Amino acid sequence: MSEEHKEYLRRLKRRSMLIKLAQAGLLLLFFGLWELFAYYEIIDPFLTSSPSRVINSIYNLYLSDALFIHMKATLAETMLSFALSTFLGTLIAVILWWNETIRRILEPYIIVLNALPKIALGPLIIIWAGAGKKAIIVMALLICIIITIISMLTGFLSIEKGKMQLLQSMKANKFQILYKLVLPGNIPTLVSVLKINVGLSWVGTIMGEYLVSREGIGYLLVYGSQIFKLDLVMASTILLCVLATAMYLIVALAEKIIKRMY
């Protein structure tokens, strides 16, 4: 290795170290200033809470066993709606890919459903699915599934024509074309759909919990704001950040593993 290249690598390393340090520093600065300003009452801790109050609030939740109950409830709803919407959306996309007539018939309905803000269906969902977990999952499912269908279908339909013809010339039937070409060829599409859905399923679940719930982080958020306990609201927000990021990182890791195969 030449001296010049060593120097280049050193510079590269230094730079990424610097960025990591700055990232950590920014976090510390933010929480430090927040704590400090709240302590000297430059900002009103009743409205803004403070890091120490947030930690205290989380600790209290932990002591009363509520922490895990709420986290578990939200996490379960999110993961269930995430998995369901990905699976059902892909399944529907397969059906639409398979049959052009059905696809053309349903096209305008999908466009309307995609344009509609799904939250508007909240009251209907509550009446139909009951004011409980089911309604929350249906809400999140609805938010994710339409975009899943559209993305997957676009992926399925954009498979290269030459590859189709190759299989057809081998006398492949449609089912073989599906599982030898269309599905494996769209794993990258699926991964990008997973990344979108990881975010959307959180949106759906929290929105659902705003509408109806007796537990969950969305419930804590609404409850905290109603009784004006901003400590609780801030604590819930931070919990949510941690959980959503964790789930996103898992999907990103899955993407890395899959990308290596492609």
Partner 1 sequence: MSALLTVRNLSLIYHSPDAETEAIKDISFDVRREEFVALVGPSGCGKTTILSLIAGLMKPSSGEILFEGIPVSEKAYATALMPQRDQLFEWRNILRNVVLGLEISHKKTQKTVSYAHELMEKYGLGGFEKKHPSELSGGMRQRAALIRTLVTSPELLLLDEPFSSLDFQTRLSVCDDVYHIIRNEKKAVLFVTHDIGEAISMADRVIVLTKRPARIKNIYTIESDKALSPLQRREKGFAEYFKKIWSDLEVTYV
What are the start-end ranges of the H helices in 99-132? 100-115, 122-129
Minimum Å distance from CB 202 to partner 1? 30
Distance from C-alpha of 167 to C-alpha of 172, rounded to nearest angstrom = 5
Distance from C-alpha of 129 to C-alpha of 152, rounded to nearest angstrom = 27
Q: Which residue has the tokens 């939200």?
A: 74
Minimum Å distance from CB 187 to partner 1? 7
Distance from C-alpha of 123 to C-alpha of 26, rounded to nearest angstrom = 42
Q: Residue 120 or residue 261: which is nearer to partner 1 going by CB? A: 261
Q: Residue 112 or residue 170: which is nearer to partner 1 going by CB? A: 170
Q: Residue 44 or residue 100: which is nearer to partner 1 going by CB? A: 100
Q: Using an 8 Å Cβ cutoff, are 54 and 238 in contact?
A: yes
User: Which backbone phi and psi does 33 adopt, to 5 degrees?
Assistant: -65, -40
Virtual torsion, Cα 97, 102, 103, 106, nearest 10 deg: -140
Q: Residue 32 or residue 184: which is nearer to partner 1 going by CB? A: 184
Minimum Å distance from CB 261 to partner 1? 7
Minimum Å distance from CB 93 to partner 1? 19
Helix, strand and coil content of the chain, in percent to the nearest 5, comes to 85, 0, 15
Minimum Å distance from CB 181 to partner 1? 7
Minimum Å distance from CB 23 to partner 1? 34
Q: Residue 5 or residue 171: which is nearer to partner 1 going by CB? A: 171
Q: Residue 64 or residue 173: which is nearer to partner 1 going by CB? A: 173
Residues at the site binding partner 1, with contacts judged by CB under 8 A: 160, 162-163, 165-172, 176, 180-181, 184-185, 187, 261-262
